[in-house]
Chains A and B, each alone.
Chain A
Amino acid sequence: MARKSILGLYETPDAGADALDGLHAAGIEAHDTEVLTGTPYPEGAFGEHVPQHRLFRFPAFGAVFGFTLALLYTAGTQLAWPLVTGGKPILAVPAMLIILYEFTMLNAVIFTVVGIIFESRLPNLFSTAAYDRRISEGLIGVVVSCEDNKASEVESVLRRAGALEIKTA
Chain B
Amino acid sequence: MQQHRELSEKQINTQLLNGALATPGWWKFAVIGLALIVLAGFATFGFMVNSGIGLTGKSRPVFWGALITTFVFWVGISHAGIMISAILRLTQAEWRRPVTRAAELLTVFSLITALTFPIIHAGRPWRIIYWIIPYDFSRGIWPNVRSPLVWDPAAIGTYLTGSILFLYVALLPDLGNLRDRTIGWRNTLYSVLSLGWRGNSRQWRLQTTAGILLSALMLPIFVSVHSIVSWDFAVTSGVEGWHSTIFAPYFVIGAVHSGVAAVVTMMALMRWLWKWDNFIRPEHFDALARLLIVVGTTWFAFTMIEILYSLYSLEAQELAFRDMQIFQWPWALLFVIFLITGFFIPVPAWFFKRVRNSIPLMFWTSISVNIGMWLERFLIIVPSLARKQPFVYTWGSYHPSLVEIMMILWSLAFVAMNMLLFARFFPLVPLFEQKESQVFSSKIKIGRASVPAVLREREQE
Contacts and interface: CB of A to CB of B under 8 A. Distances in A.
A119 B9 contact: no
B142 A40 contact: no
B244 to A, nearest CB: 17
A92 B435 contact: no
B433 to A, nearest CB: 9
A87 interface: no
A116 B158 CA distance: 19
A139 to B, nearest CB: 9
Nearest to A132: B180
A130 to B, nearest CB: 10
A122 B203 contact: yes
Contact of A103 (B154, B191, B217, B432): B154
Contacts of B457: 42-43
B200 A35 contact: yes
A102 B224 contact: yes
Interface string B1-36: 000000011100100000000000000000000000
A106 interface: yes
B195 A122 contact: yes
Interface stretch (B50-58, B205-213, B295-303): B205-213
Nearest to A122: B195
A35 B146 contact: no
A121 B206 CA distance: 10
Interface stretch (A21-29, A51-59, A151-159): A51-59
Contacts of B165: 109-110, 113
Interface in B166-215: 166, 168-169, 172-173, 176-177, 180-181, 191-192, 195-210, 213-214
B432 A39 contact: yes
Contact of A53 (B145, B150, B192, B209): B209
A105 B158 contact: yes
A2 B194 CA distance: 29
Interface string A110-137: 1011001101111111110101010111
B390 interface: no
A19 to B, nearest CB: 14
B180 A136 contact: yes
B9 A138 contact: yes
B221 interface: yes
Chain B binding site: helix, strand, loop or mixed by DSSP? helix
Contacts of A85: 146
A44 B201 CA distance: 9
A127 B196 contact: yes
B458 A44 contact: yes
Contacts of B217: 59, 105, 108-109, 112
Contact of A112 (B205, B214, B436, B439): B214
B142 A113 contact: no
B25 to A, nearest CB: 26
Interface size range of chain B in the complex: 35 or more
A70 to B, nearest CB: 9
A146 B200 CA distance: 17
A43 B70 CA distance: 46
Contacts of B173: 38, 40
A125 B176 CA distance: 11
Q: Which of A51, A77, A98 has the most CB of B within 10 A?
A: A98
Contact of B143 (A77, A101, A120, A137): A77
A6 to B, nearest CB: 15
Contact of A43 (B162, B168, B201, B221): B201
B102 interface: no
B162 A36 contact: no
Q: Which of B192, B195, B436 has the most CB of A within 10 A?
A: B195
B134 interface: yes
A120 B202 contact: yes
A143 to B, nearest CB: 8
A98 B144 contact: no
A38 B196 contact: no
A137 B214 CA distance: 28
B146 A50 contact: no
Interface string B306-317: 000000000000
B63 interface: no
Interface in B206-255: 206-210, 213-214, 217-218, 220-221, 224, 228
A119 B177 CA distance: 20
Interface in B76-92: none
B9 A96 contact: no
Contacts of A41: 204, 439
A14 B426 CA distance: 32
A92 B144 CA distance: 10
Contact of A55 (B145, B150, B180, B206): B206
A127 B198 contact: yes
Contacts of A46: 201
21 contacts: A35-B200, A43-B457, A50-B201, A53-B209, A59-B213, A73-B145, A77-B134, A77-B145, A85-B146, A96-B145, A102-B155, A103-B154, A105-B162, A110-B165, A113-B210, A119-B202, A122-B196, A124-B196, A135-B199, A136-B176, A137-B10
5 smallest beta-carbon distances between A and B, as pairs? A138-B9, A124-B196, A77-B142, A123-B195, A133-B180
Given A105-B162, A113-B214, A136-B177, 18 more contacts: A37-B199, A39-B9, A41-B204, A43-B458, A51-B201, A51-B202, A51-B205, A56-B213, A77-B142, A77-B145, A78-B142, A95-B146, A102-B157, A103-B158, A117-B195, A133-B180, A133-B181, A135-B199
Interface of B: 8-10, 13, 134, 140-147, 150-151, 154-155, 157-158, 161-162, 165-166, 168-169, 172-173, 176-177, 180-181, 191-192, 195-210, 213-214, 217-218, 220-221, 224, 228, 432, 435-436, 438-440, 457-458
